[in-house]
Amino acid sequence: MWQALRTIWSNTDLRKKIAYVLALLVVFRLAAHIPIPGVDAANLKAFFNSNAYLGLLNVFSGGALENFSIVMLGVGPYITASIIFQLLGMIVPKFEEMQKETDGQRQIQQWTRYLTVPLAIIQSYATITLLQRSGGGVLGTLSLWQMIVAVALITGGSIFVMWLGELITEKNIGNGISIMIFAGIISRVPLSIQQFFTTYDSSQLPTVVLYVALAVVMIFAVVYVTEGQRKIPISTARQVRGQSLAGRETHLPMRVNQAGVIPIIFAVSLVLFPPIVGQYLSTMSISWLAKTGNVIVTAFNNQLIYGLLYFIFVFIFTYFYTSVVFKPEQIAENLQKRGSFIPGVRPGKPTAEYLQYISSRIVLFGAAFLGVIAVLPVALQAFASGPTSSVVIGGTSLLIVVSVALETVKQVQAQIQIRAYDQF
């Protein structure tokens, strides 16, 4: 660890990249504390503390939502836009083909940016309206001009956050969107610790021990699955630059969880969407809409339904996102160009089909395992007493933090290795 830190510090380019990313995160955290006028801060915090679904979104935004700041939606609209195009890739052949091509991915990325704008407008208006109808004086009545200004500020803040995330991604230190969610969650840790010691009661000790044990199990499981890999043997049967590599064997590592943390973030965003819509509908004056909203909220308060949908979404997105990032045809082509092959498998299309087969088997285990880990905090609520809504929030947050930390460390290590090779 210390050797890695010394390597980072001694490398000017890498040190500047990390400093740049940290500076952008500081800007994001500062923006999270710039409020939009016209809200009762105390009532707003109490409202989010009493609402499990909005409370989880508030954790992801790093408290920006309860501060009613200009970046209160965080990367939410961008994630929603990404989910829409990911789902289109599942059902529309043209989008599926585009997702497998570099130019197509760039085009979809551009469309995702465009779609983020109207989604930010819709989500900001819906959030403001929900707060107005929540009661308790959280947000007073806004004039038409005040509503337009508030929606414009929140939409601009969402676009700003999306831009910051893409700037971070360009530095190859990690996925910008994931890192910003990571920063938002971590920023809440000191406050959570303070609240724990303020409200702690010795009678809660068994529950606390159970939570800590669950956290340790989740960390171990996520690290184990993320680091796990299947090594595919590779043989080389020709000379490269005058050096005979015939008979030399290497291996192709295939990670169990190739999709990383993105499926978890997508799954959380998707599973939270219906109950929030239900809460919005339940406040409407039209009776059938209000009844529909109440039915949705009641259904998602059932932990069996919530946990089952959460598991299904994590499983599906892990499977699908792996098919986007893992390209067996490209790997098979590169192996054939280098004169390498998998023993017992013909080069070209048979190699691609073999890699796809192995990947499907590995991802089946990885997706199921990740889904089980994701719903463990939900299952715990059936057996534990105390603030159960915080169990889901803490469990999901821990899952994302560990996954993002592992991915970021891997990318930093890759940067270190690249610079080590450049010295020779």
pLDDT digits (tens, 9 = 90+) for 120-150: 998 888 888 877 776 555 676 777 888 888 8
**Based on the domain organization, do 270 and 390 belong to the same domain?**
yes
pLDDT digits (tens, 9 = 90+) for 140-190: 677 788 888 889 999 999 999 999 989 998 887 878 888 888 888 888 777
Whether the model clears a pTM of 0.85, i.e. scores above it, the answer is no
**Based on the domain organization, do 396 and 260 belong to the same domain?**
yes
- Boundary-marking domain end, from 152, 171, 200: 200
**Based on the domain organization, do 147 and 265 belong to the same domain?**
no
**Based on the domain organization, do 196 and 247 belong to the same domain?**
no
- Boundary-marking domain end, from 200, 235, 259: 200
Q: Which residue has the higher pLDDT, 395 or 334?
A: 334
At residue 386, does pLDDT exceed 50?
no
Work out the average pLDDT over 101-113: 87
Phi/psi at 244 (5° precision): -80, 120
Instruction: For residue 280, give its domain range.
Output: 209-424
At residue 395, does pLDDT exceed 90?
no
- Report the CATH number that the domain containing residue 348 is assigned in CATH: 1.10.3370.10
Return the top range by mean pLDDT from 137-146, 349-358, 405-414. Answer: 349-358
In the chain, % of residues over pLDDT 90: 7
**Based on the domain organization, do 299 and 340 belong to the same domain?**
yes
**Based on the domain organization, do 88 and 69 belong to the same domain?**
yes
**Based on the domain organization, do 5 and 148 belong to the same domain?**
yes
**Based on the domain organization, do 388 and 413 belong to the same domain?**
yes
80, 119 in Cβ contact below 8 A? yes
Mean pLDDT of the chain: 78
- Boundary-marking domain end, from 200, 218, 250: 200
Q: Which residue has the higher pLDDT, 206 or 157?
A: 157
- DSSP structural state of residue 386: S
SS (H, E, C) the chain: CHHHHHHHHHCHHHHHHHHHHHHHHHHHHHHCCCECCCECHHHHHHHHHCCHHHHHHHHHCCCCCCCCECCCCCCHHHHHHHHHHHHHHHHCHHHHHHHCCHHHHHHHHHHHHHHHHHHHHHHHHHHHHHHHHCCCCCECCCCHHHHHHHHHHHHHHHHHHHHHHHHHHHCCCCCHHHHHHHHHHHCCHHHHHHHHHHHCCHHHHHHHHHHHHHHHHHHHHHHHHHHCEEEEEEEECCEECCEECCCEEEEEEEECCCCCCHHHHHHHHHHHHHHHHHHHHHCCCCHHHHHHHHHHHHHHHCHHHHHHHHHHHHHHHHHHHHHHHCCHHHHHHHHHHCCEECCCCCCCHHHHHHHHHHHHHHHHHHHHHHHHHHHHHHHHCCCCCCCHHHHHHHHHHHHHHHHHHHHHHHHHHHHHHHHHHHCC
- Total domains in the chain come to 2
**Based on the domain organization, do 279 and 363 belong to the same domain?**
yes
**Based on the domain organization, do 150 and 278 belong to the same domain?**
no
**Based on the domain organization, do 130 and 246 belong to the same domain?**
no
**Based on the domain organization, do 184 and 298 belong to the same domain?**
no
At residue 118, does pLDDT exceed 90?
yes
- What region does 297 belong to: left with phi over 0, alpha with psi -120 to 50, or beta? alpha
232, 355 in Cβ contact below 8 A? yes
Half-sphere exposure of 260 (CA within 13 A, CB side): 18
- DSSP structural state of residue 238: S
Q: How confident is the model at residue 114 (pLDDT cuts 50, 70, 90)?
A: very high
**Per-residue pLDDT at 141:** 72
Q: How confident is the model at residue 387 (pLDDT cuts 50, 70, 90)?
A: very low
- Where is average pLDDT lowest: 64-78, 136-150, 315-329, 379-393? 379-393
**Per-residue pLDDT at 347:** 84
**Per-residue pLDDT at 134:** 66
